[in-house]
Structure 1
Amino acid sequence: MNSHGLTKENLLFALPAALREDPTVLALAETAAEFLSGRPEEIDRLRIYPEVGRLGEPLLDILAHDFKVDWWDADYSLEEKRRTLAGSWRVHKLLGTKAAVETAISAIYPETKVREWFEYGGKPYHFRIDVNVSNEGLDKARLRQVLDRVQFYKNLRSHIASGAIARRLLLRTQ
Structure 2
Amino acid sequence: MMADISKVALLDLVPVSIRGDPQVQAAAAALDQELKAVTAAIPSTLLISRIDELPESVLDLLAWQFHVDFYEPASLDLAKKRVLVKQSIAWHRRKGTPSVVEEMVQAILDNAIVEEWPEYGGDPYYFRVVKIGGELVDTEAYVLLKKAIDTVKNTRSWLEGISLLRQIDSRIYFGVLQSTHTKVDIFPSAFRMPDISSSLYCGGLIHVHKSEVIPCQTGQAVS
Q: Is the 8 A contact 1:83 1:107 kept in 2?
A: yes
Distance 1:42 1:139, change over 3 A: closer
Aligned to 1:173: 166
State TM-score, norm by structure 2: 0.53
Aligned to 1:105: 105
Aligned-partner SS, 1:155: coil
Query: 1:59 Cα shift?
Result: 0.3
**Cα distance in 1, alignment partners of residues 93 and 43 from structure 2:** 25
Q: Is the 8 A contact 2:131 2:163 kept in 1?
A: yes
Which amino acid in 2 is paired with 1:95?
Answer: K
Distance 1:92 1:127, change over 3 A: same
**Cα distance in 2, alignment partners of residues 171 and 78 from structure 1:** 23
**Cα distance in 2, alignment partners of residues 74 and 83 from structure 1:** 13
Query: 1:131 Cα shift?
Result: 4.6
Query: 1:115 Cα shift?
Result: 1.2
Which amino acid in 2 is paired with 1:171?
Answer: L
Max Rg structure: 2
How many matched pairs? 129
Query: 1:43 Cα shift?
Result: 6.3
Over the matched positions of the two proteins, sequence identity in percent amounts to 31
Gaps of 5+ in 2: 1-38, 168-223
**Cα distance in 1, alignment partners of residues 139 and 152 from structure 2:** 21
Aligned to 1:94: 94
1:67 paired to 2:66: yes
**Cα distance in 1, alignment partners of residues 102 and 159 from structure 2:** 13
Query: 1:104 Cα shift?
Result: 1.7
Aligned to 1:132: 132
Bigger relative contact order, structure 1 or 2 (CA pairs below 8 A, ≥6 apart): 1
Q: Is the 8 A contact 1:84 1:107 kept in 2?
A: yes
Aligned-partner SS, 1:170: strand
Query: 1:46 Cα shift?
Result: 2.6
Aligned-partner SS, 2:70: coil
Query: 1:116 Cα shift?
Result: 1.0
Distance 1:60 1:41, change over 3 A: same
Which amino acid in 2 is paired with 1:49?
Answer: I
Q: Is the 8 A contact 2:70 2:144 kept in 1?
A: no
Distance 1:142 1:156, change over 3 A: same
State TM-score, norm by structure 1: 0.67
User: Greater share of helix residues, 1 or 2?
Assistant: 1
Q: Is the 8 A contact 1:109 1:131 kept in 2?
A: no
1:145 paired to 2:138: no
Which amino acid in 1 is paired with 2:129?
Answer: I
Which amino acid in 2 is paired with 1:106?
Answer: Q
Query: 1:127 Cα shift?
Result: 0.7
Which amino acid in 1 is paired with 2:163?
Answer: L
- Structure 1 segments (4+ residues) deviating >4 Å: 40-45
Q: How do 1:4-153 and structure 2 match up within 5 A?
A: 45-75=44-74, 76-133=76-133, 135-153=134-152
**Cα distance in 1, alignment partners of residues 131 and 77 from structure 2:** 18
Q: Is the 8 A contact 1:117 1:123 kept in 2?
A: yes
